[in-house]
Structure 1
Amino acid sequence: MIRWRRGEVARIRREWSGAMEIEVSTEEGLVRALAYPALVGRPEPGDTVLLNTTALAMGLGTGGYAMVVALPNRLPKDPQGPGHLVKARYTPLQATVLGADEQDSPFHEALREADSLDGMPVVVADLHSALPAILCGLYGSRPAGHEEVRVAYVMLDGGALPAWFSMSCARLRETGWLDGVVTVGQAFGGDVEAVTLHTGLLAARHVMDADVAIVTQGPGNLGTGTRWGFSGVSAGEAVNAASVLGGRPVAALRVSEGDLRKRHIGVSHHSLTAYGRVALAPAQVVVPELPGDFGSRVAEQCAPLAVRHELVGVPVEGLYEDLADCPVRLSTMGRGLDEDLAYFLASAAAGRHAASLLS
């Protein structure tokens, strides 16, 4: 279940908002480790650390790190302040946070009877890597009079639980491309915490005053190669939540020309299942107008979704330039912009369509 190791901090490699990458000396040699200071305290060179090396040993895609579980010789001080929501519940690192929707929150009254997103566009995608690409399309296609668009990222708990894990989120916040992060369900570490996706979306609208919300899971998609065993089914559930709250759900397709797995070539079965089977409410499904036979294949694969959803063709001209100017590195499953251009164009096209809904 858990592979435990003890080590000594050799050096601090780098830091970003909420996280530290360190190098730890263990009996098996040097390893890269990740620490969340809000949970375990701030490790310094010479500190003894307890590590969870399970994902590192398994070679998981997002498991290139050992995780710091504790600094046993220098425990952090007890937390101060309000907060009664427990996240990562009943695990050894369960943590209390102040939820926007709980009674002690200054936003409780605003959310107590909140029931509508007031038509706010909600862009839904499968993978966390779609987030910056959607923003590229959104900001590159803003209509006149909407130069100052407020965007909230609502992070689901299907992947990483701590929002701090995402270097992209930290950088997008620094550049002003994101006005805030809302962590929902068991996810935590956002600018705003919420119990459910529904209150998370309402918090994006009524607490952050967002014009657009983007919903994806955190980094670390889980898939098993089965029809239903993948964490991206939550994309369909997000469409339902956005719809029931009076938002305008926009479905971004997971499209790939570079994935070696047959089930993800063209339109991924993740999108076809999430939007075709899980999403019971209608959405605007953005179909990127990609060139050539591959574009025709994508359009053909999407056709069955028209039974429930509105298929919206979106041109991709000019989106490459928008993507090339992204303030964070674009990468999905280890592939960059030019290695899987179709993936990023499809995500950016969803952002472009969301921008058109602001006019």
Structure 2
Amino acid sequence: MGDQRPSGLFCAMFIKLKPYLAMVSLQFGYSGMYIVTILCLKRGMSHYVLAVYRHAVAALFIAPFALAFERKIRPKLTLSTFLKIMVLGFVEPVLDQNLYYVGMNYTSATFASAIFNVLPAITFILAMIFRLEKLKIKKLRSQAKILGTIVTVTGATVMTLYKGPVLNFVRSQGRNQNKTSSGSTDQHWVTGTIMLLASCSGWAGFFILQSFTLKSYPAELSLTALICLMGTVQGAAVALVMERNFSAWALGWDSRLLGPVYTGIVCSGMAYYMQGMVIKERGPVFVTAFSPLCMIIVAAMGSMILAEQIHLGSVIGAIIIVVGLYCVIWGKSKDYATSSPLTCEKGGALELPIAMTDGSKLTVDDSNPNGGILMSDTRANSSSVPSVI
């Protein structure tokens, strides 16, 4: 009896921190993606081919897990769900990533990671349009989310319109300063920024559509495998049209092989699955609210490994974006705090808070051997037989 309370507290704490741990670890994975991707592009690998290989690796990696763990719970694939998966496979794996690769090649890995901090703001706006986010203007948490969105967009605008002088760091002063200073003038900075913002919009749309698709197809592993498969097929069709030279499909024992394998397993296979899990619990806005951590890691790695130059406009815009994102995250945390807390008593299974819209109410039966939640309907014209969730 004495060990049940500490284990229950630990269980509840882990469940509370699990979405944060998942998103923070994912940002470290994305940080490596920025560095590996820019190395692939500098080696001459086509970004169309990279996107195809990336999702082929992701599909091969995630499919065995989907077949093993979801064969009994996988719902029937309807035509409506299949069409949504096809759109998901085009929006993020094909459209979003190719725009991102071109935009990053025109600017830099550091700038690309920084401008992607506008993603939560775009996702928040789309979530409001599709009624996935509820706003109560008189509530402080809603005001914080609106203000944070405005500040975030302002920061992205500063990064787009103001480049500023170069901020020299220890490693970027030496071996590659002359090369980057002369090359930076040739970069299509505004065009690259517009492409990155378009990529952000596509990614935000992916999160919104993924949220709707999970409601009709609540099998995260299977959905991830299907998205990667559709992305591979559609991306291959685009790549065959855009890349007529078949030598562009060649791989080597260098970053051209590491790039597809790393980004496929970590940034597509694992990322889509983890994002789907957290979206079901916290919503799409929460998933996109951890970009500043990725920006900080990439800025450090880009300066040391790639000898990239960081401009003052990028730093100022990134700081503004971080302030705006903090407001959004604070508002989202207050939204979640107002919902029913998770319970973990007597060794029972933890259940997410469930909101009933049909007049039903939830009660906890301690005598239930499954530690489950009993749902009983108190309306006069309803059945009196409870069901166990």
TM-score bin (small chain): under 0.3
Please say which structure displays the higher CA radius of gyration: 2
TM-score, with length taken from structure 1: 0.24
TM-score, with length taken from structure 2: 0.23
Q: Which has the higher strand share?
A: 1
Higher relative contact order (CA 8 A, sep 6+): 2
